[in-house]
Structure 1
Amino acid sequence: MANELNFEDAERVEIDGELLRDAPRVNLSRRAIISGLAAGSVFPVLSSCTTNPYTGQTELAFMGEQQIASMAATAWTDLKSQTPQTGNSRMKNRVLNIWSRVEQATPKAGEQWDVAVFDTDDVNAFVMPGNRVGVYRGIVELVENDDQLSSVLGHEVGHTVYRHANRRMSRQMLAQGALAAGQVALSSSETMNQYGGAVAALGGAAVQFGVILPYSRQSELEADKAGVDYMHEAGYDVTQAVRLWEVMDANASSARQPEFLSTHPHPSTRIDALRQYINARGYALM
């Protein structure tokens, strides 16, 4: 996204369009939902928890990592075929060298990655399921030093370590199931049936602004902190993670939308969170 760094996480597979933005729809018929509610089986069927091998955390996951990676494979191939990659060997080698240091400092060290440096002005970077990383010339040219670029790359690895794509998709699926069940309950009530459409719209808005967007912003902050950990382990200056967002804020478009409407936190929010985290971890005193 021009003039604004919008680190894209594993939920994205195309520029300005989320690859995995919409989770697979929970397509249950009204009869199936009613039967499931009566048997108490709708949400138990939808519920599934797994242990993240990188963090040890138990998390909600309706799909396997390999399944999500397969979903992104075609989009990644299409993106690489449709978007020019840089012919500047110096720039590409710079990105790959920093990437190598950062990646080796993460829980995913030694895994196979596909890193592409795209030749566009987009001030952006993203990661796709299946260890696919895209970096745009715009962000490489904007950062002031290698430390700031290491923060960008560490952030992207953080999304994959915390499996944010899977977690977000699972929450969307659960929310869709809850809304579907709610609509059935409303349609079964003669009193509330006439308001079903309005209530459903309000429910959808509540999910979007109360669950999906806040979770997305939380994931960004989590990836920011993970990136700082990897920077520190790789020997980079973690204070440059804060400086990066100062630079981004100074170069951002004046038309930025309010934070509560955005998938990403405001730069000032990220700056404050990073400072607190760096101080708390004892990496530096800011």
Structure 2
Amino acid sequence: MNKPVNFEDSERIEIDSALLKDAPKINLSRRAIISGLAAGSVFPILSSCTTNPYTGQSELAFMGDDQIASMAASAWTDLKSQTPQTSNTRLKNRVLNVWSRIERVTPKAGEQWDVAVFDSDDVNAFVMPGNRVGVYRGIVDLAENDDQLSTVLGHEVGHTIYRHANRRMSRAMLAQGALAAGQVAVSSSDTLNDYGGAVAALGGAALQFGVVLPYSRESELEADRAGVDYMHSAGYDVKQSIRLWELMQANASSSRQPEFMSTHPHPGTRINELRQYINAKGYAII
């Protein structure tokens, strides 16, 4: 039985951890943080905005896309050397043909991409900074037709268009700085000092469940919507995106975490969101 995964769950968590490990740390001295808190200047110091060249939106970004892509290069090389790629020419060509149709209708059309099709039962696909896409045989086999496969590939391009890797890393770095500031504030308070450990732990949980995970879930839904746009532009049947997630839901593990504890929305949530989006855009009536 195929291992149920929401496109990127397993590999992407490992990849993100590797990237975050290599990311520059926000190291402010205790005195600097206290001074910043008093002046209200800690978060302006930590914040940095850039313009997304594909969407024109202003976004939080501590690092450039090229820098993150360079950091991801070794992880991508290691993954390809450790995971066998498929020798099934028909399966690989199927992925590349669908990829070609999707890629050419996106804002990143014509850019250089590295697409690998891995010989694994994992129901999984992922994208890494630097236009690197990994697709597992398991998810290709799960897809009943090319329209459903285009849902997966359009979703992955959506992550790169909205620079989700950069956003996620930047917010993790910002959260690190916020926790440091909070711990200093607690340790500077005579009233709260005895409870500093508990307050710090509570702050970490609040950031994780209240900011980081919901943000990740919204990124997934944003990539879902972008994927549907590209499906429609490429001439694929957008209704098949619903069918794909029905298949994913049928294969979902009974031990799945509650949605508020997960980085990915529940398949049922994604189905409802996609149905509303497709109807609102007029792509189809579902």
Computed over aligned residues only, the root mean square deviation of the Cα atoms, in angstroms, reads 1.8
Task: Specify the alignment match of 1:66 in structure 2.
Answer: 66
Taking structure 1 as the reference length, what is the TM-score of the superposition? 0.94
Task: Specify the alignment match of 1:12 in structure 2.
Answer: 12
> Following TM superposition, by how much is the alpha carbon of 1:104 offset from its aligned partner in structure 2, in angstroms?
0.4
1:1-286 alignment to 2 at 5 Å? 3-8=3-8, 12=12, 14=14, 18-20=17-19, 24-286=24-286
Q: What is the alpha-carbon distance in structure 2 between the residues aligned to residue 224 and residue 213 of structure 1?
A: 17
Q: Deviations over 1:32-67 (max 9, x none)?
A: 322433454422221111111111111111111011
> Partner amino acid for 1:20?
L
Out of 272-281 and 25-34, give the one that drifted further.
25-34
What is the percentage of aligned positions where both structures have the same residue? 82
SS of equivalent to 2:236: coil
Q: What is the alpha-carbon distance in structure 2 between the residues aligned to residue 195 and residue 13 of structure 1?
A: 32
> Following TM superposition, by how much is the alpha carbon of 1:13 offset from its aligned partner in structure 2, in angstroms?
7.1
Change (3 A) 1:160 1:101: same
> Following TM superposition, by how much is the alpha carbon of 1:233 offset from its aligned partner in structure 2, in angstroms?
0.3
Q: What is the alpha-carbon distance in structure 2 between the residues aligned to residue 48 and residue 229 of structure 1?
A: 30
Q: What is the alpha-carbon distance in structure 2 between the residues aligned to residue 249 and residue 182 of structure 1?
A: 40
Conserved in 1, the CA contact under 8 Å of 2:6 and 2:248?
A: no
> Following TM superposition, by how much is the alpha carbon of 1:18 offset from its aligned partner in structure 2, in angstroms?
4.2
Conserved in 2, the CA contact under 8 Å of 1:14 and 1:79?
A: no
Conserved in 1, the CA contact under 8 Å of 2:209 and 2:260?
A: yes
SS of equivalent to 1:195: helix
Conserved in 1, the CA contact under 8 Å of 2:186 and 2:192?
A: yes
Change (3 A) 1:269 1:21: farther
Taking structure 2 as the reference length, what is the TM-score of the superposition? 0.94
Q: What is the alpha-carbon distance in structure 2 between the residues aligned to residue 121 and residue 18 of structure 1?
A: 23
Q: What is the alpha-carbon distance in structure 1 between the residues aligned to residue 280 and residue 149 of structure 2?
A: 23
Q: What is the alpha-carbon distance in structure 1 between the residues aligned to residue 31 and residue 269 of structure 2?
A: 46
Conserved in 2, the CA contact under 8 Å of 1:13 and 1:76?
A: no
Q: Deviations over 1:71-116 (max 9, x none)?
A: 1000000000001000111111110110000000111000000000
> Partner amino acid for 2:19?
L
> Following TM superposition, by how much is the alpha carbon of 1:251 offset from its aligned partner in structure 2, in angstroms?
1.4
Change (3 A) 1:13 1:197: closer
> Partner amino acid for 2:118?
F
Out of 33-42 and 150-159, give the one that drifted further.
33-42
> Partner amino acid for 1:156?
E
Q: What is the alpha-carbon distance in structure 2 between the residues aligned to residue 245 and residue 206 of structure 1?
A: 30
> Partner amino acid for 1:28?
L
Q: What is the alpha-carbon distance in structure 1 between the residues aligned to residue 260 and residue 199 of structure 2?
A: 21
